[in-house]
Amino acid sequence: MIKKVRSHLEHTSLRVQIWGKAAVGLYLWQHIFEGLLEPADVTAQWREGSQKAGKTHFSFITGPSVVPGYFSVEADNVVLVLNGREKAKIAYATQWLHYAQTLIQTRKIQRVAVVLLGNEQCNNEWIQPYLKRHGGFVNLLFVTYDYTLVNEEDIFQWPLGVATYRNFPVVEPSWSMLHDPRSYLCNFLGTVYKNSSRETLLEILKQDGLDKLCWIAAREQWQPQETNESFRNYQDALLQSDLTLCPVGINTECYRIYEACSYGSLPVVEDVMTPGDCGNSSMYHSAPLQLLKTMGAPFIFIKNWKELPAVLEKEKVKSLQEKIQRRRKLIEWYRNFKAWMRQKFINTLENSFLPSDKG
């Protein structure tokens, strides 16, 4: 009997409930954990899923009906997924943190980790007082972008992922995605901001007539909500292009990088730091995109769009066989990247939340 109990304890020693209060939570659950949600309807008020991983049983809840005090807290350990991009979002995130703090104080839960969609300029000071190291209650912080305070002890870099807020799907690679010739050398569908490197990019494409070989659709204003048609166009462009051009926005890291990987279109990434407080952490010295570089992302990194014509000239002479090999490598890398992030997330939670056996 003791053996039975022990083996059961070893199999699941940890129960973790994830509260998905930012769209980046769907990337964590559906893309990295490959978890399912019921109901499948993305507009549902309440969606949930669960899975066993390592020694941990995870449950995930999301949707507008997940409101502090109005759902049952079913685990000692909580992962709170929050949006800290701007003032209004931070005010909402803070309410959730206060709710979690109350649950800790009343011993309803024991430990809290936060997955944070960070500010694009890495202004995340507001969350510091909540961290355990500063006298707060948050054991672990997983945060997007090259935040300088990432230390691999209690603060970890987390990938931005795909635009789940626009319902970007989990893409299963098909035979044709890997093997078919693609109609375009490259694509860029997006907003072109005044005096940005994106303007330079478009000028360079036009000068050399390269825009005829690429799927280019530029607009002047950012649209958070795509129409069905524009979103289908975007997915088609990724599927029909060998390369996806990824100019910097407010941050170097953008959804487009991960979305291109999903469709086997190689990201050509503008590898420059953007204004703000992002930069090298004590752990990595390859900002921007330290996480992707550390994980050996097989992208084309360029410092200036003037390098693009040479890249496209090389592309013109690549055989289909070479392109197929490259697509396989990219899709394989992306699959491994997500699996590694999942394992790292689980290990980090277990190492921090499970009582150590060191006596």
Question: What are the tens digits of pLDDT across the range 8-48?
Answer: 445 568 999 999 999 999 999 999 999 999 999 999 999 99
Q: What is the pLDDT of residue 227?
A: 76
**Candidate ranges 184-193, 209-218, 313-322; pick with highest mean pLDDT:** 313-322
Q: How far is CA 354 from CA 108, 115, 341, in A?
A: 17, 19, 19
Q: Is the pLDDT of residue 324 over 90?
A: yes
Q: Is the pLDDT of residue 6 over 90?
A: no
Q: What is the pLDDT of residue 12?
A: 60
Mean pLDDT score of the chain? 93
β-bridge mates for residue 80, sequence order = 19, 114
Among candidate residues 255, 256, 217, 263, the one with its CA nearest the CA of residue 239: 263
Q: Is the pLDDT of residue 275 over 60?
A: yes
- Name the residue type at position 316: K
Q: Is the pLDDT of residue 229 over 90?
A: no
Among candidate residues 306, 264, 269, the one with its CA nearest the CA of residue 286: 269
pTM, to two decimals: 0.93
Asked whether 172 and 274 are in contact (CB, 8 A), the reply is no
Q: What is the pLDDT of residue 359?
A: 40
192 versus 90: which is more confidently predicted? 90
Q: Is 96 left (phi over 0), alpha (psi -120 to 50) or beta?
A: alpha
- Name the residue type at position 251: N
**Encoded tokens for 217:** 């659709």
Q: How far is CA 337 from CA 1, 40, 156, 256, 258, in A?
A: 41, 25, 15, 16, 11
Among candidate residues 102, 97, 264, 119, the one with its CA nearest the CA of residue 177: 264
Give the span between the Cα atoms of 66 and 81, in whole angstroms. 12
For 80, residues 6+ apart whose C-beta sits below 8 A from its C-beta are: 19, 21, 96, 97, 100, 112, 113, 114, 115
Per-residue pLDDT of 336-347, as tens digits, reads 999 999 999 999
Q: Which residue has the tokens 């961290």?
A: 131
Asked whether 45 and 105 are in contact (CB, 8 A), the reply is no
Local confidence band at 222 (pLDDT 50, 70, 90 cut-offs): low
How far the first Cα of the chain sits from its last, in Å, is 24
Q: What is the mean pLDDT of residues 225-229?
A: 74
Q: What is the pLDDT of residue 107?
A: 96
